[in-house]
Amino acid sequence: MNITEILRSNPELANSLTISTNPADLKEFAEYCYEIGKSERPEPTPETYLTPKQVATKLHISNVTLWHYDNKGITSPVRIGGKRLYRNSDIEEILQKR
């Protein structure tokens, strides 16, 4: 029977429980937690960006309709270097909603 099972079956023991550790054990535990957290975190996927022409083609709409979508907030371009670009993930989300 491990400590967790003992405390679950005897919750009154938790009030008088004392845990002592040393710096080396604490460091080892912190490193363990860090490695577990790092391995469970998915690698970020790089975002791809589309030009207005690519978005219009992908959505089967005209450039004018895309401009209207921008004004209505349906699409939201990112301005990079004076150019309008669209996150591919945003466009995929719009296509899924259709």
Token pair belonging to 79: 């301005």
pLDDT of residue 90: 94
For 49-97, CATH gives 1.10.1660.10
Annotated domain spans of the chain: 49-97
pLDDT in tens, 12-69: 887 887 888 899 999 999 998 888 887 777 777 889 999 999 999 999 999 999 999 9
Q: What's the number of CA atoms in the CB half-sphere (13 Å) around residue 45?
A: 6
Is the pTM higher than 0.85? no
pLDDT in tens, 79-89: 988 899 999 99
CB atoms within 10 A of CB 77: 20
Residue that has been written with the tokens 């301005």 in this structure: 79
- Residue 2 pLDDT exceeds 80: no
CB 95 within 8 A of CB 58: yes
Token pair belonging to 3: 């400590």
Residue 63, Cα to own-chain centre: how many angstroms?
31
pLDDT of residue 5: 86
